[in-house]
Amino acid sequence: MISFILRRILISIPTLLLVSLLVFGLLKLLPGDPAVALAGQEPDPQVIEALRVKYGLDQPVYIQYFKWLSGILQGDFGLSVRTRLPIGETILQRLPVTIQLSLQAMLIALLIGIPAGVLAAIKRGTPADYLVSLIGLGGLSIPSFWLGIMLILLFAVSLGWLPSGGYASLLQSPLDNLRFTLLPSIVLGTAAAAIVMRHTRSSMIAVLKQDYVRTARAKGLRERIVVTRHALRNGLIPVVTTSTLHLGELLSGAVLTEQVFGIPGFGKMIVDGVFSRDYAVVQAVVIVSAVMFMLLSLLADLAYVILSPRLRA
């Protein structure tokens, strides 16, 4: 197991280097000059040149890249040209917000998607199957920003049960934090639940046709025991992959949802960085997102081994 983890980490190193090279190179190809954006409405050429020197924009691209990469390896993501604050500190403030939101959304998705998918597989071809599939299709089709606005109108404006936006720290006020994050978690969890449901249904249908499931039924075991103890464990393996990748997407920044609800998370950070041409922020967010994707992929592989004893060899 340890050797497997070490191999995966070694494979991830060149991947991260390639990602860093692509991100740095593509951002340099974008139109516009960050120094001009920082200089104000009527920029002075001398001010622009001073800003370029200050942030190293006057140096060759390859030197800028190696300086940026060496800083990242030392844990230094640089300074934001917009806020003048260390990017690493900003990430440490914003990332926990998105992590909490993403975990809540995935919890909602799993609690809804897995039972619904199992029910649809067991009742395949019945009205229950069609109803669950129809609801899942609706969850995939509804735009997240529209659903967020509708939930705000219903629960915040009409009923007044929940706030329409904002954020409260989990450590300072857990109850207020839950009130602020419940609606965006439902918005994100709705689409994720539909995806989890569809994959659970497809996987369970395939597993329920296996010989060992038929053998378990022939022994006279109850259908509930057959499904939960014999079929579900193997049927969850593709669901683990789907859930892990979708969690990685959420951690990369639920941009629209965070914008709609005014949540200061990872997604809003990258949006602000793009519009202000704060390339260092965008690069840092992408690198951190790539690292999180790789860690989640490693966790998914470990979950395979736990769920399926056949893979332990």
Q: How far apart are CA 129 and CA 121, in angstroms?
A: 7
Q: What is the pLDDT of residue 96?
A: 85
For residue 278, give the 3-state DSSP assignment: coil
Q: What is the pLDDT of residue 240?
A: 80
Q: Which of 304, 312, 123, 204 is nearest to 213 (CA)?
A: 204
Domain residue spans of the chain? 16-73, 95-312
Q: How many residues does the chain have?
A: 313
Q: Which of 191, 194, 200 is nearest to 124 (CA)?
A: 200
The angle at the Cα of 29, spanning 23 to 32, to the nearest 5 degrees, equals: 115
The tens place of each residue's pLDDT in the chain, 313 residues long, gives 677 677 777 887 888 888 888 888 777 776 666 666 666 666 677 777 777 777 677 777 788 888 888 888 887 787 777 777 888 888 888 888 888 888 888 899 889 888 888 888 888 888 888 888 888 887 778 877 788 888 888 888 888 888 887 788 877 888 888 888 888 888 888 888 888 888 888 888 888 888 877 887 787 778 788 787 777 777 787 788 778 877 877 776 577 787 778 888 877 787 777 777 777 788 888 888 888 888 887 777 777 766 666 655 5
Q: What is the pLDDT of residue 185?
A: 87
Token output for 15: 């991947």
Q: What is the pLDDT of residue 36?
A: 67
Q: What is the pLDDT of residue 34?
A: 67
The CATH architecture assigned to 95-312 reads: Orthogonal Bundle (1.10)
Q: Are 265 and 184 in contact (CB under 8 A)?
A: no
